């Protein structure tokens, strides 16, 4: 499964590279020795990375964006927001005021918050792309592409896979963490919870906090209390790679053994692969954040230079489990998965 997903990702990058190669002018003789300006070197882009510098997920997004900037020659400024929706909106307002050629924006703030700013960007002729969380209403009115997971489909598929693979049944208990109450932030987790409930599984929803992404240890009291209050819990869904990679910390704190509770969730990281190896984590849904960094910059450059339509790419097409994690472990260490 993972090899197929990997080849799909690499094939897309190869096609993109061929497109870029065809856009440049051929040089011969002495011109080959001179450093040639790349095809999008005059395109200015502001790119929203999402979290803070060093954040595991954001680092892979950032690596993808850096590679796209290097490949296209685009002039890219990177914006870090600590996963704060309020900060993202404030930063987006400032970015629009600077009138770049394009902005690649995280969609976490949701349609309602982004809509008036998308209108302003459209009127200013700024090319917009969105990554990680979709804003379908905004895009339907003011355009723009989306690179990321179809969150509802992804969340439901993960829940159904856990039920199928690990034999959860009606009457079992599960805990699902999510940013409940934050528009646009809990779509996939809600889909997982609904898939469980439709199978008769009893779900406890617990709100996760943005600060936990930067320091998963901050979640320890909440995670410990949840398991101690529900000792019969069979499965726990974590919101992202930061929390999933700390599963061993949470389980050891409540005296559980590897595999005693099915720990699953979203994303990959070196910590997640270590937890796979040690038996603490059983399943994760990979949304390939490298592509969420690379494709928005490529798309903005293609639109700004050649008026090509914005790209829409679903980056979450499969799972990694305890039998397949080793196949991608090296790529995770390199910061591209």
Q: Where are the domains of the chain?
A: 39-149+287-316, 151-286
Q: How far apart are CA 178 and CA 133, in angstroms?
A: 14
For residue 232, the model assigns a pLDDT of 97
For residue 168, the model assigns a pLDDT of 97
Within this chain, domains 39-149+287-316 and 151-286 share the same CATH topology: yes
For residue 35, the model assigns a pLDDT of 55
How many Å from the N-terminal Cα to the C-terminal Cα in the chain?
15
- For β-strands 127-131 and 102-106, DSSP reports them as parallel
Please list the pLDDT of the chain residue by residue as tens digits (337 residues).
Answer: 333 333 344 444 444 444 444 444 444 444 444 457 899 999 999 999 999 998 889 999 999 999 999 999 999 999 999 988 899 999 999 999 999 999 999 999 999 999 999 999 999 999 999 999 999 999 999 999 999 999 999 999 999 999 999 999 999 999 999 999 887 789 999 999 999 999 999 999 999 988 888 789 999 999 999 999 999 999 999 998 999 999 999 999 999 999 999 999 999 999 999 999 999 999 999 999 999 999 999 999 999 999 999 999 999 878 999 999 999 999 999 999 8
Question: Which tokens go with 162?
Answer: 């856990």
Q: Which of 294, 333, 289 is nearest to 60 (CA)?
A: 289
Q: How far apart are CA 286 and CA 314, in angstroms?
A: 11
CATH 3.40.50.2300 for domain 39-149+287-316, yes or no, is yes
Q: Which of 236, 293, 247, 235 is nearest to 271 (CA)?
A: 247
Q: How far apart are CA 74 and CA 76, in angstroms?
A: 6
CATH 3.40.1160.10 for domain 151-286, yes or no, is no
CB 94 within 8 A of CB 117: no
- For β-strands 283-286 and 318-321, DSSP reports them as antiparallel
Q: Which of 214, 235, 224, 88 is nearest to 158 (CA)?
A: 235
Question: Which tokens go with 287?
Answer: 């949304």
Order the strands of the 102-106 sheet from edge to edge: 75-79, 44-48, 102-106, 127-131, 145-148, 312-314
For residue 234, the model assigns a pLDDT of 98
| CA angle centred on 100, ends 97 and 102, rounded to 5° | 115
The helix-helix angle for 2-23 and 56-72 (nearest 10°) equals 30
Order the strands of the 233-237 sheet from edge to edge: 202-207, 173-178, 233-237, 262-266, 283-286, 318-321
Question: From residue 121, how far is each of 97, 126, 139, 173, 287 by CA, in Å?
Answer: 9, 5, 12, 46, 28
């Amino acid at each position: 499964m993972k090899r197929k997903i990997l080849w799909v990702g690499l094939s897309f990058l190869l096609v993109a590279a061929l497109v870029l190669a065809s856009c440049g002018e051929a040089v011969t003789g002495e011109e080959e020795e001179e450093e040639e300006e790349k095809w999008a070197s005059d395109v200015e882009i502001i790119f929203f990375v999402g979290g803070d510098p060093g954040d595991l997920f954001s680092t892979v997004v950032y690596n993808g964006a850096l590679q796209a900037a290097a490949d296209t020659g685009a002039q890219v400024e990177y914006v870090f927001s600590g996963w704060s929706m309020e900060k993202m909106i404030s930063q987006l307002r400032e970015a629009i005021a600077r009138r770049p050629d394009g902005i690649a924006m995280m969609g976490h703030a949701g349609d309602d918050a982004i809509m008036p700013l998308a209108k302003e960007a459209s009127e200013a002729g700024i090319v917009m792309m969105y990554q990680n969380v979709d804003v379908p209403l905004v895009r339907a009115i003011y355009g723009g592409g989306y690179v990321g997971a179809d969150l509802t489909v992804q969340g439901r598929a993960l829940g159904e896979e856990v039920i199928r693979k690990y034999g959860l049944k009606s009457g079992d208990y599960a805990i699902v963490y999510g940013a409940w109450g934050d528009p646009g932030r809990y779509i996939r987790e809600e889909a997982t919870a609904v898939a469980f409930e439709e199978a008769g599984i009893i779900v406890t929803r617990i709100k996760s906090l943005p600060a936990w992404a930067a320091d998963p240890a901050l979640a320890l009291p909440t995670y410990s209390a949840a398991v101690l209050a529900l000792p019969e819990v069979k499965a726990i869904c974590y919101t992202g790679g930061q929390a999933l990679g700390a599963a061993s910390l949470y389980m050891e704190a409540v005296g559980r053994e590897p595999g005693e509770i099915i720990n699953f969730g979203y994303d990959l990281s070196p910590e997640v692969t270590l937890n796979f190896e040690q038996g603490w984590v059983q399943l994760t849904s990979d949304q390939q954040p490298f592509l969420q960094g690379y494709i928005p910059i490529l798309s903005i450059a293609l639109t700004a230079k050649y008026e090509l339509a914005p790209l829409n790419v679903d980056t979450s097409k499969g799972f990694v489990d305890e039998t397949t994690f080793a196949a991608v472990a090296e790529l995770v260490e390199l910061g591209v998965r």
